[in-house]
Structure 1
Amino acid sequence: MTWSDPRGYDPMIALSAAFEEQNPGVKITWDKRSLQGFESTPVDQLAADYDLLIIDHPHVGAVARQGCLLALDELLPKTAMTALANETVGKSFISYAIDGHQWALPVDAATQVQAHRPDLGNRVGTWSDVKEVAKNRAVILPMRPPHSLICIFTLAGNIGHPCGSEQDRLLPEDVLGKVFSELKAVSDHIDPECFGMDPIAAMDRLAEDNTLRIAPLTYLYKGYSNKGYRANRLAFSDIPALGRSGPVGSALGGTGIAVSSRTGSPELCAQFAAWAAGAECQSGLYAASNGQPGNAVAWASEEVNAPVLDAYRNTRLTHEAAWLRPRHDGYMAFQAEGAEIVNEALTGKRPVPQAVKSLNRSFAESFKGVVH
């Protein structure tokens, strides 16, 4: 099971065909789900039906408790695990590690970055610049849950206050208040339809609408930089800084490949996963098959960067300095509730001070029942 965007589906089909050629008698068939399903569907439900899964790292706390995936460090040679750890883009590799085990291998790296229309102007460097562009109604932001909450995460991390360092609150109230103020200064000037848009919908609009110039916070979708993918190409670059430390603190995304604990072919599945995440495959067949690699060797490749306007090189700093979301069992419920709280505050349905308290309370409650 993978997800339905071409970047999530196409490379899996190509890799499976190549793997089948090298392993006579093996057949790998992929199903796909929407981005929303990828972000929210519990992994244990999918692991009941599929041998191989493309997963989102915030699920790993629940995964470790439920025992629905196999620990890949127990199936693969230590040398292979070391190589993949060394070849990670930022925290992509460790994002799938919890409770002393590796539950998935990164095949796709992404974090919130900046997208802009190079035919309409240049990227911006600071959040102050974003606010000025927003006044001209030229900014788009994907704010459909969970992405509104993720914008809060990124802006907080960028000013030196990563969310979730304490279990009793998401952030100090004054920090959350400042971040809300900065985000609202932009969201007040965007199309209200943005609150129903995920990054795919927002990138589609940005590529088509000549009144829009930038998406200051959106996950990297390299396909929009490919020639002919949409009416106009998008360029990706580092996030515009709110703080003084450059493009740090962006909320990490990406995908990893995992193996169900119910599979009848654990060694074969682990072999496929390690190959799919490895430097040779990622730099070659994976990238050539519409994939967005998660391996740093691929990210440095001229051949991989050339078709996408150097999207990997131009966002590398943001990815290397990205912040890792909480992954405890209970986080996913908070992420869903927290994004709704954020949107209510940004659209005037809830006072910001009340939203700040609600976010902190919801985050603290997400740890109830977690054994430490």
Structure 2
Amino acid sequence: MIILNGITWDQSSIYGPLAAASKLYEEQFGIRVEWEKRPLSSFKDHSLPDLATKADLLIIQHPQTGVASETNCLLNLDELLPYEQLQELEHQSAGPVFLSYYYQQKQWALPLDATMQCAASRPDLLDGHQVPSNWDEVFELAEILKQQHLNIGMALSATDCMYTFLSLAVHLGSAPRENNTLLVTKEVGMLVLEGMRKLRDNFHPKCLDWTPIELYDHMATEDDIPYSPLAFCYNNYSRHGFRKNRLRFHNAPDVKDVVLGGAGIAVSATTSAAAEAAKYAAWLCSAPVQNDVYVNAQGQPANIIAWKDPAANAMTDNFFSNTIDTLTYAYVRPRYNGWTAFEQYLGETLHTFLKHNSNAAEVLEQIQEAYHFSYAYNKKSNQQNTP
């Protein structure tokens, strides 16, 4: 029996569907795929080449394609799969997810899971109030809820501070793109920093402590947050029985330009079974699998067929149809080698800024400088010019 080894992160919405689908694959094709779970922190850019020596298959995020391109630690799927099959998967991709793994004219992964920042609510606590359609309405709702001793929720952990900064910057017209002179314009950067302070000051006091999962766990078990405007979405919270109370998900305020997340499946350059690994990856991302065993195991497919399927929407309180517009117009982050390390710095700096109420102009200057030196050629030039 052929056995393929894979490494994924220890998130139930990723690992559970992988395990269920892999069991079916072994039953149908006689090839076993064994998945090892690791913390998401193991998947930072500096460790991807090392991880690729330990498995046939890897679950990656789209910003890591720059590392793959520079180190060639992953295989180019254009050379492993038929053109027609790749075209079908691209045509069926939800929003920009397929092309987010296409970098430097190579397809480094296939989209497995699709997520993005969007809004969530507890309809039973909203008490008839409309879900906000833009940010002005979000803050209007916040004032109304305060009078009822309720709060708007937000995930503003260090990582989520970074995602929120990026989404707001894109929304305000200064999208961080690869090879920008500055990360964002000074005007937009200051607006975003002041806007993030406004989020902190007007929303739940524990926002700075929360990841999206911690936020949703609180929303689903406590009764003080009827609405959250912006956090990565997980459809398992919209299913019966997953938590004490069921959440409903919505398009993000103003719909467009929020950060794309998700996961892709890639083939290691060190595998001795490249053809079998690529075939399995394509099968896993195909519409029949994504819209059956994958979504039924609480997965969040990257295939648009599943997002539009009535059965998938019925089991998730219309999670997919309620948020599909936000996914369609989601923002793809830069992918050069150096971006993911900068992301970590950006998140930690923003979190410190909010926690200690630092000077916004100084923080923005620090961020701009760090972005500049996140490019290897700028770092090298600076080293050469330093006496």
Instruction: Tell me how far 1:310 sits from its aligned partner.
Output: 0.7
Matched, 1:17 2:30: no
Matches within 5 A, 1:1-372: 1-24=7-30, 26-38=31-43, 42-121=47-126, 122-135=130-143, 136=146, 138-164=151-177, 166-241=179-254, 247-369=255-377
Q: Percent identity?
A: 32
- 1:129-179 Cα offsets, whole Å, 9 max, x none, are 222344525122112222101101111222332223653211111111112
Instruction: Tell me how far 1:359 sits from its aligned partner.
Output: 1.4
- 1:281-337 Cα offsets, whole Å, 9 max, x none, are 111111112111000111110011111111111111111111110110000111011
User: 1:66–1:165: structure 2 CA closer, same or farther, 3 Å change rule?
Assistant: closer
> What residue in structure 2 maps to residue 244 of structure 1?
none
Instruction: Tell me how far 1:41 sits from its aligned partner.
Output: 7.1
For residues 314 and 5 of structure 1, what CA distance do their matches in structure 2 show? 23
User: 1:166–1:252: structure 2 CA closer, same or farther, 3 Å change rule?
Assistant: same
For residues 322 and 279 of structure 1, what CA distance do their matches in structure 2 show? 21
Task: Count residues with an aligned counterpart.
Answer: 365
The letter of the residue matching 1:160 is G
For residues 203 and 86 of structure 1, what CA distance do their matches in structure 2 show? 32
User: 1:237–1:22: structure 2 CA closer, same or farther, 3 Å change rule?
Assistant: same
Instruction: Tell me how far 1:47 sits from its aligned partner.
Output: 1.1
The answer as to whether partners of 1:250 and 1:322 remain within 8 angstroms in 2 is: yes
Larger Rg: 1 or 2?
2
| TM-score, length basis structure 1 | 0.93
For residues 312 and 47 of structure 2, what CA distance do their matches in structure 1 show? 33
Unaligned runs of 5+ in 1: 242-246
Instruction: Tell me how far 1:277 sits from its aligned partner.
Output: 0.7
The letter of the residue matching 1:108 is D
Instruction: Tell me how far 1:343 sits from its aligned partner.
Output: 1.4
For residues 45 and 137 of structure 2, what CA distance do their matches in structure 1 show? 33
For residues 134 and 174 of structure 1, what CA distance do their matches in structure 2 show? 26
The letter of the residue matching 1:154 is S
Instruction: Tell me how far 1:193 sits from its aligned partner.
Output: 3.6
* CA-based RMSD: 1.8
For residues 157 and 47 of structure 2, what CA distance do their matches in structure 1 show? 19
Instruction: Tell me how far 1:358 sits from its aligned partner.
Output: 1.3
